[in-house]
Amino acid sequence: MKRTNDGGQRRIVVISTGGTIASRWQGTGYAADASGDDVLATAPLPEGVTVEVVDLFNVNSSRMTSAHQLALLRTVQETFADPGVDGIVVTHGTDTLEETAFLLDLHHADSRPVVLTGAQRPFGTGDGDGPGNLYDALQVAATVRDLGVLVVFDGRVHAARGTVKTQTLAADAFSDPSAERLGRVGFSRVDIERQPERPAPLPLPAAARTADPGATGSATTPLPRVDIITHHSDGDPFLLNAAVAAGARGIVLVATGAGNATPEIAEAVADAVAQGVLVAVTTRVPAGPLAEIYTGGGAVDLVASGALLTGTLRAGQARIALLATLLAEGTTGAGDPARSTALLRRLLEGPVRVEPALATGGSRSASAVAARA
């Protein structure tokens, strides 16, 4: 479906993937089944915007797979092959939105924006937040440039990197616990308050060209296994070793504090790294960076064992960085450990400032940011 507001000047493509924004009552609970056209029909269009809809797939985001995400990545890049497209909005479930947004951002080299949004309340409910979020996302997609992939939710604009779901049910579902929001949107105005920091973008991985989510999220090419293991009181290496035995090519260790575990886990990390497994250490603490402070199984020992610290990235996005690294190196088995480690370090720790942050819709704050750069 195509919808045009009077004087349609900005062409935005909406890619629908399901989630709460597309979920209707199924008798025992809600599940995604509304089409992208149905979802779009609930929202007014910003002035001067033309919208086209692509129904890519329709799943609850807790069922999202890497194959789904790679198919979306390919679709985004294919859509931008059309120079007449001014921006993309992706409607997505909130459970894994942070992972999908980060994967797209790691590969996003275009000046045109990709904006992810969704809803906390289901499709068609009287107090639904989906229509407002979609309107805001369209407004942002038609306005900003050179900001990478964004998350727009509840009137706030967030950079993909570092943004996570921080509320299970509240309308203000997303934030970066370690950084300020990127901007805000409201009253037909987009205000960008700072510039995001992003590593140099990766090329489209070969796996994205063959990814086919189909009915089950399968892919024509096996994807590297990347697992997440959480440390806790009484934590031991059993699950980490089990992940290695299961064929994991990457492991995210969710440590305590600023990145701490036990000597036994540090030894298991060293064994995994010796087998060519990439290991990244994040923390179960909501905000703040990791740091090499403690020995006795702490971050000092984990880094000495060959693990990399994830900065302020938390588990879901750290896993995406590992996956992107493995896909970039073409490794579904053993690859070049030194090369993979260097690339992963860049994705985790080496963002570069993106300039300029320009808006085409007369945003005062966006222009001010560019002037300060």
* Predicted pLDDT at 211: 85
281-305 confidence digits (pLDDT tens): 999 999 999 999 999 999 999 999 9
* Predicted pLDDT at 57: 97
**Domains 2-199+354-372 and 217-349 agree in fold:** yes
Candidates 291, 239, 234, 295; CA nearest to 263 is 295
Q: Is the pLDDT higher at 268 or at 212?
A: 268
Asked if pLDDT for residue 365 goes beyond 90, the answer is no
* Predicted pLDDT at 360: 40
8: pLDDT confidence band, cut at 50, 70 and 90? low
320-356 confidence digits (pLDDT tens): 999 999 999 864 444 678 899 999 999 998 554 333 3
Asked if pLDDT for residue 12 goes beyond 50, the answer is yes
Which tokens go with 255? 């440590």
131-158 confidence digits (pLDDT tens): 999 999 999 999 999 999 999 999 999 9
Task: Please state the separation of Cα 306 from the chain's center in Å.
Answer: 26
pTM, whole model, 2 decimals?
0.90
56-77 confidence digits (pLDDT tens): 999 999 999 999 999 999 999 9
Candidates 118, 131, 149, 151; CA nearest to 18 is 118
What's at 168, amino acid-wise? T
**Would you kindly state where each structural domain of the chain is located, as residue ranges?**
2-199+354-372, 217-349
Find residue 91's DSSP bridge partners: 16, 117
* Predicted pLDDT at 222: 86
For domain 2-199+354-372, the CATH class is alpha beta
* Predicted pLDDT at 2: 54
Q: Is the pLDDT higher at 366 or at 309?
A: 309
Asked if pLDDT for residue 314 goes beyond 60, the answer is yes
* Predicted pLDDT at 124: 86
Residues known to be catalytic? 20, 94
Asked if pLDDT for residue 244 goes beyond 80, the answer is yes
A 10 A CB-CB count for 35 gives 14
Beta-carbon-side half-sphere exposure of residue 287 (alpha carbons within 13 Å): 7
Architecture of domain 217-349 in this structure: 3-Layer(aba) Sandwich (3.40)
